[in-house]
Amino acid sequence: MSSTKLAYRYAKSIIDLALEKGKLEEVTNDMRLLNETTDKVREFYLMLKSPIVTGDKKMEVTKLIFHGKITDITENFMNILMRKNRESHLPEIIDSFIHQYNALKGITPVIITSATELSKDAIDEVLNKLKQTAHLQTIQLQTKVDADLVGGYILQWEDKLIDNSIRRGLTILKDEFDNNDYVRKF
């Protein structure tokens, strides 16, 4: 089974169970905690992916780290993953869970990358225009600063990208000069 299918199925099963138990928001918070841990604690991520560390040892370490911090549903889910030797797929399962949760709740993650920190008014203006044109219900905003853009912004959501950065404009201008038919190339 492909990793994508496996992640989808496991994520769907825990979402269904959390909905059945009325604890979807709590389990979602658990998944965000696990996601943050796998992203920021390299040792934990490497342990999950390691074929050398046994499943029992992984289960023991995971209990030490997360016991009392996550719900019983999530803790039991982690135990099932480790018993079935699927713990190495946890990052993909978490990504699939968050994607399915967002689809269920009508949430669209949006990333705005700009050369400098944007004001609240500028962000609101971009988001309002995006809501009108793309017909988005709820937006989950993430802002990033990338000084290499020089100016302007890059807007990403779903599978769409709008690049209104000066860096992109300069790249296009450079390409036009390089491909100018009226200039002799020696």
Residue 182 has pLDDT above 80, yes or no: no
pLDDT of residue 149: 84
Per-residue pLDDT of 60-99, as tens digits, reads: 888 899 988 999 999 999 999 988 989 889 999 999 999 9
Distance CA 11, CA 65 (A): 21
CB of 110 within 8 A of CB of 139?
yes
Query: What's the pTM?
Result: 0.75
Separation CA 169–CA 10 (nearest Å): 43
Expressed in angstroms, the distance from the first to the final Cα of the chain is 55
Report whether 169 contacts 186 (CB < 8 A): no
Q: How far apart are CA 34 and CA 48, in angstroms?
A: 12
Kindly report, residue by residue over 139-178, the tens digit of the pLDDT: 888 899 988 888 888 989 888 898 888 888 888 888 888 8
Name the DSSP letter for residue 117. Answer: P
CA–centroid distance for 186 within its chain: 48
pLDDT of residue 100: 94
Predicted confidence (pLDDT) per residue in 36-63, tens digit:
999 999 999 999 888 898 888 888 888 8
pLDDT at 186: 61
- Which of 167, 121, 127 lies closest to 146 in space, CA to CA? 167
pLDDT on residue 175: 85
Domain boundaries, the chain: 3-103, 107-178
At the top level of CATH, which class does the domain 3-103 belong to? Answer: mainly alpha
Each residue's pLDDT tens digit, 88-138: 899 999 999 999 999 999 888 999 998 889 889 988 888 888 888 888 778
**CB atoms closer than 10 angstroms to residue 114:** 22
